[in-house]
């Protein structure tokens, strides 16, 4: 019984050390960037936390050792041991935080398009891998019109600026956990919306066309650019290949019937009537 009791107090002491170390790290986060008054206040809080942590660990240690009656000299060794424990845990948590931040950074590099900041094809593969089998999805496949002539005539630098501008425009339609935007290559973008019906997808497509079909001021160039969008939705089990193929096919249909439009893919490979964004320049 005494052994179990001593073990419990030892566990409590370690847990208290862990909580103290974590609290100190949280309080000291972005310490250098804060004002002098805030740094003084946080320094006082850190000292108070360390003092309370050491005192609590010492009390648990006394309870864990039966019959222990400390004197003045005997306090130095346990307090030094508790201080080393706290220092080690602070270092361990700090190091773990750095490793996790580095992993997140590498993950961002792997899943993000460096030019637009949107998710890339790797990010899309990651999305499909974690997608529920029967989730209701709407896929919008967007392609810029006349991008290749712009890129060839004015150079890749201007083409990159245009892609960055379009990517920034599309970013506003992103909604964490609900709507994801991908650049899958060249001037092709994909929007995947969860719990989205055909009607909602069409409304979204119109909003995207209204925002992206406009004149872009790129350095000393003024370029009017439109887009074409193909829409499809999941029917039962999610099939990434089928969804992308259907949306891509609908997008090309919209492009053939006139720029600045969207087309909807329905079951049976029937392309529904195409809506047009009313701008004479879009054609």
Per-residue pLDDT of 12-21, as tens digits, reads: 888 888 999 8
Q: Is residue 189 part of a domain?
A: yes
Looking at residue 65, what is its pLDDT?
Answer: 67
- Same-domain status, 87 and 131: no
- Same-domain status, 156 and 213: yes
- Same-domain status, 44 and 150: no
Question: Euclidean distance between the first and final Cα of the chain, in Å?
Answer: 85
Q: Is residue 96 part of a domain?
A: yes
Structural domain range at position 218: 121-282
- Same-domain status, 107 and 189: no
| Better-predicted residue by pLDDT, 45 or 141 | 141
- Same-domain status, 94 and 125: no
* Residue where a domain stops, chosen among 111, 146, 177: 111
Q: Say how far residue 82 (Cα) sits from the centre of its chain.
A: 39
Q: Is residue 157 part of a domain?
A: yes
Q: Is residue 69 part of a domain?
A: yes
- Same-domain status, 101 and 155: no
Q: Is residue 98 part of a domain?
A: yes
| Better-predicted residue by pLDDT, 200 or 59 | 200
Looking at residue 273, what is its pLDDT?
Answer: 47
Query: Sign of dihedral through CA atoms 82, 83, 87, 90?
Result: positive
Q: Is residue 116 part of a domain?
A: no
* Residue where a domain stops, chosen among 111, 135, 157: 111
| Better-predicted residue by pLDDT, 196 or 257 | 196
> Which is nearest to 142 in space by CA: 262, 5, 10, 273?
262
Catalytic residue among 125, 187, 239, 248: 187
Is the pLDDT reported for residue 116 higher than 90?
yes
| Mean of pLDDT values over 205-221 | 92
- Same-domain status, 107 and 126: no
- Same-domain status, 62 and 23: yes
Looking at residue 280, what is its pLDDT?
Answer: 45
| Better-predicted residue by pLDDT, 76 or 224 | 224
pLDDT digits (tens, 9 = 90+) for 69-106: 555 456 777 788 888 888 988 888 888 888 888 887 77
The question of whether 187 is a catalytic residue gets the answer yes
- Same-domain status, 130 and 30: no
Phi and psi at 136, nearest 5°, equal -80, 115
| Better-predicted residue by pLDDT, 224 or 275 | 224
Q: Is residue 230 part of a domain?
A: yes
pTM: 0.67
Report how far residue 224's alpha carbon sits from residue 218's, in angstroms, rounded to the nearest whole number. Answer: 11
Total number of domains constituting the chain: 2
pLDDT digits (tens, 9 = 90+) for 143-197: 999 899 998 999 999 999 999 999 999 999 998 889 999 999 899 999 999 999 8
Using 50, 70 and 90 to split pLDDT, how confident is the model at 271? low
pLDDT digits (tens, 9 = 90+) for 21-34: 889 888 888 887 88
pLDDT digits (tens, 9 = 90+) for 46-58: 888 888 888 888 7
- Same-domain status, 156 and 220: yes
Is the pLDDT reported for residue 40 higher than 80?
yes
Looking at residue 38, what is its pLDDT?
Answer: 85
Q: Is residue 187 part of a domain?
A: yes
* Residue where a domain stops, chosen among 84, 111, 138: 111
CATH number for the domain harbouring residue 194: 3.30.70.270
Q: How far is CA 51 from CA 31, 81, 84, in A?
A: 20, 14, 14
- Same-domain status, 171 and 79: no
Looking at residue 203, what is its pLDDT?
Answer: 94
Give all strands (DSSP E) within the chain, no chain letters. Answer: 137-144, 179-185, 188-194, 214-218, 221-225, 227-233, 261-266, 270-271, 275-276
Mean pLDDT, the chain, as a whole number?
85
Residue 181: which residues within 8 A CB-CB, separation 6 or more?
A: 118, 119, 170, 171, 173, 174, 189, 190, 191
- Same-domain status, 125 and 247: yes
């Amino acid at each position: 019984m005494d052994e179990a009791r001593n073990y419990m107090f030892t566990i409590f002491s370690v847990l208290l050390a862990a909580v103290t170390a974590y609290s100190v790290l949280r309080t000291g986060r972005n310490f250098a960037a804060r004002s002098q008054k805030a740094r003084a206040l946080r320094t006082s809080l850190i000292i108070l936390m360390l003092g309370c942590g050491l005192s609590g660990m010492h009390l648990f240690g006394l309870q864990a050792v039966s019959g222990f009656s400390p004197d003045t000299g005997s306090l130095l060794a346990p307090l030094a041991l508790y201080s080393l424990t706290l220092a080690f845990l602070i270092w361990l948590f700090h190091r773990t935080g750095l490793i996790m931040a580095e992993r997140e950074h590498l993950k961002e590099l792997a899943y993000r398009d460096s030019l637009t900041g949107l998710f890339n094809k790797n990010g899309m593969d990651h999305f499909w891998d974690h997608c529920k089998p029967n989730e209701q999805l709407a896929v919008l496949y967007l392609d810029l019109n006349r991008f290749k002539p712009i890129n060839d005539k004015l150079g890749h630098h201007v083409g990159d600026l245009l892609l960055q501008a379009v990517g920034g425009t599309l970013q506003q339609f992103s909604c964490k956990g609900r709507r994801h935007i991908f650049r899958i290559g060249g001037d092709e973008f994909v929007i995947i919306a969860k719990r989205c019906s055909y009607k909602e997808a069409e409304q979204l497509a119109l909003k995207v066309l209204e925002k992206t079909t406009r004149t872009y001021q790129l350095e000393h160039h003024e370029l009017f650019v439109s887009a074409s969008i193909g829409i499809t939705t999941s029917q039962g089990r999610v099939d990434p290949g089928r969804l992308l193929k259907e949306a891509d096919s609908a997008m090309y249909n919209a492009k053939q019937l006139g720029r600045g439009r969207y087309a909807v893919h329905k079951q049976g490979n029937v392309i529904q009537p195409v809506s047009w964004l009313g701008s004479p320049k879009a054609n």
